Amino acid sequence: MAPRRPLLPVTDRTRHRRLREQGSLERADLEAILDAGFVCHLGVVVEGRPLVVPTVYGRDGRQLYLHGSVASRSLAGGAPVCVTVTHVDGLVLARSVFEHGVNYRSAVVHGEARKVTDPDEKLAGLRVLTEHAAPGQWSYARGPNRRELAATTVLALSLEEASVKIRTGPPDDGDGPDAAAGRWAGVLPLTAVWGTPVPDPLLPPDTAVPGHVARREGTRPGSRTGGGIP
Amino acid sequence: MAPRRPLLPVTDRTRHRRLREQGSLERADLEAILDAGFVCHLGVVVEGRPLVVPTVYGRDGRQLYLHGSVASRSLAGGAPVCVTVTHVDGLVLARSVFEHGVNYRSAVVHGEARKVTDPDEKLAGLRVLTEHAAPGQWSYARGPNRRELAATTVLALSLEEASVKIRTGPPDDGDGPDAAAGRWAGVLPLTAVWGTPVPDPLLPPDTAVPGHVARREGTRPGSRTGGGIP
C-alpha cells in the first residue's frame, strides 16, 4: 500500500545522524510542529559567520512566511537560510547523567528565503503570520495601510527540505545496570500555556476582551480551541 | 558614579538596529536570560549555509557550556557560532496589525566555540550543563564514566559579545488614532511551567520522587525555588 502522506526528501543535510532521538520523514509531523509554535529561530550567514535571530512565522500549506526585518539586511536575493522551530516538552531525568536529555519536537527547515515584494502577496503573507499567532486578529484589528505594508519585510520559504526530530517518553536506562541502584527516574514535563489577557492600561475600562482572545486562556499555543475563523 | 555592572561591548554585530524592542547592554540582563532557559539555538555555517539546531546549555560565570554532538562535525577548531536563547512572554495584540508583536527576552551570543578536550574540564562542563537544567541532579544521578565522557561532546563559548533584546508591556498604539476605534488591545501572556513528574514505567512503584525534582512542579524554568544544591 502506498503511504498516505508524502515523505520529506532525505538530503545530505537532513539525514539523521544520531540514534537517540527519532527522526521523522512524515510531512504531517513537520506541519504539526510548525503549527504548534509561532516564533522560529532564523539562521543566516553574515560575512561568513552565523547569525540566529528569533522571529514570528506562519504556515500556508507548503510555504512559510516570516517577519524578516531583523535579518533583512542579510537576505538580499534568495540567501540560504535555516529556520528552526523547537518545542521543549520536558526534561528526561535518567539514572545516569549520560542518559539525561530533553523531550522535544523540532523542525529544521533549509532553503532560500525569498523577499516578498508583490503587495498582494505581502498582504496575504501578513495575514498568514497574524492568523498563525493570533487566530481571529486579522479581521478584528485594523489592517495595514500602504505605508505600513511598505515598511514591513515579509520573507517566504518553501517547505521542501526539512529535518524533523521528536523525542518522547521515559529515559533509556530503565533496563540497564543503573536501574538496580534505586534512583528515581522519569520525565519532568514542561508546558507553555496562555494566561489571562492583560488589557492595555490606555484602554477605556469597559472594553471587552474579544472572544477569540479570551478563549485562548489556559490553552497551549497552536491549540485550535483558542480562536480562529469560525 | 561608575556603573555597578559591566556593560557588554557594542560591536558591529550587536549594535541595535530596530527601535521597537529595547536593547540592553547590562551583563545582568544577559545572564538572567541565559539562566531562565536551558535549550538554546546553536547556529553554525556548514559549507557556506546556515544550520540552526537546538541543544542544551549551562552557564558558568562568563562561560557557556553546550552539548555539542549535533553540530560537532561542523565545529572542528574554533568555528564561529551564534547561540541564541529566546523566551516568549506573550503576544502583543495591538489595535492595528502593524503594531502587533511579541513580548520576549532574547540573547544572541557571538563567538568561537571551543571543543572541550581536557577530561576534567569536560566533567566540570557536564556538571554545569546538568545543574543548569536540573539543579540537584548531578549529585543524585550516577556520574559519567570514562567511556561516556569520551562519547560526549562539550563545547565552551565565552560570553564576550552578545546582543540582548527585551520587549515588555502593552502595544504601542494606545495613544494613536487607532485608539478611537474601540478595539480591545493588550497582551496575551505565555508562560512555561514545570508539570507533575512522570515516573519511568520501569521503576519499582514505591520509588519516591526526590525533593529537588518534586519541588519544581508549578515553577518556571530558571526559577531558583525548584531545586539546587542546598
Which amino acid type is present at position A229?
I
CA dist A80 and A44 (Å) reads 7
Residue B100 and residue B126 share a domain: yes
Nearest CA in chain A to B81: A50
pLDDT of residue B25: 83
CB-based contact, B186 to chain A, within 8 Å? yes
pLDDT of residue B66: 96
Q: Does B189 contact A192 at a Cβ distance shorter than 8 Å?
A: no
Total domains in chain B come to 2
Residue A199 and residue A186 share a domain: no
When CB atoms are compared, the residue of A88, A102, A186 closest to B199 is A186
Nearest CA in chain A to B170: A200
pLDDT of residue A18: 40
CATH code for position A87: 2.30.110.10
The distance of Cα A34 from the centroid of its chain, to the nearest Å, equals 4
Q: Does B198 contact A186 at a Cβ distance shorter than 8 Å?
A: yes
Q: How far is A212 from chain B (nearest CA, A)?
A: 11
Q: Establish if A17 belongs to a structural domain.
A: no
Number of A/B CB contacts below 8 angstroms equals 301
Q: Establish if A3 belongs to a structural domain.
A: no
Residue B197 and residue B88 share a domain: no
CB-based contact, B63 to chain A, within 8 Å? no
Q: Establish if B1 belongs to a structural domain.
A: no
CB-based contact, B144 to chain A, within 8 Å? yes
CB-based contact, A205 to chain B, within 8 Å? no
Q: Establish if B141 belongs to a structural domain.
A: yes
Q: Does A175 contact B202 at a Cβ distance shorter than 8 Å?
A: yes
When CB atoms are compared, the residue of A84, A126, A184 closest to B203 is A184
Cell of A120: 498582494
Q: How far is A77 from chain B (nearest CA, A)?
A: 15
Count of other CB atoms within 10 angstroms of residue A223: 17
Q: Establish if A5 belongs to a structural domain.
A: no
Is the dihedral angle over the CA atoms B154, A42, A160, B97 positive or is it negative?
A: positive
Which amino acid type is present at position A9?
P
Closest CA to B150 of B115, B119, B126: B119
Annotate B52-115 with DSSP letters as a single string. Answer: EEEEEEEEETTEEEEE-TTTGGG-SSS-EEEEEEEEEEEEEE-SBGGG-EEEEEEEEEEEE-EE
Q: Establish if B6 belongs to a structural domain.
A: no
Q: Establish if A77 belongs to a structural domain.
A: yes
pLDDT of residue A223: 80
Residue A216 and residue A162 share a domain: no
Angle in degrees, CA B111, B152, B30, rounded to 5: 35
pLDDT in tens, A69-121: 656 666 666 789 999 999 999 999 999 999 999 999 999 999 999 999 999 99
Residue B137 and residue B44 share a domain: yes
Residue B85 and residue B34 share a domain: yes
* A27 three-class SS: helix
Contact B149, B76 (CB under 8 A): no
- Provide the ipTM: 0.90
Residue A134 and residue A162 share a domain: yes
Residue with cell 477605556: A204
pLDDT of residue B24: 83
Cell of A58: 506562519
pLDDT in tens, A32-83: 999 999 999 999 999 999 999 999 999 999 999 999 865 666 666 678 999 9
Q: Does B142 contact A197 at a Cβ distance shorter than 8 Å?
A: no
Ranges of residues in chain B whose predicted pLDDT is under 70? 1-21, 69-77, 224-230
Give residue B205's domain range: 192-230
Q: Does B53 contact A98 at a Cβ distance shorter than 8 Å?
A: no
Residue B210 and residue B134 share a domain: no
Residue A154 and residue A218 share a domain: no
CB-based contact, A182 to chain B, within 8 Å? yes
pLDDT in tens, A157-212: 999 999 999 999 999 999 889 999 999 999 999 999 999 999 999 999 899 999 99
Residue A145 and residue A94 share a domain: yes
When CB atoms are compared, the residue of B183, B189, B202 closest to A179 is B202
Q: Establish if A88 belongs to a structural domain.
A: yes
Residue B201 and residue B145 share a domain: no
Mutate which: A41, A161, A173, vs B, most B CBs within 10 A: A41
Residue B219 and residue B166 share a domain: no
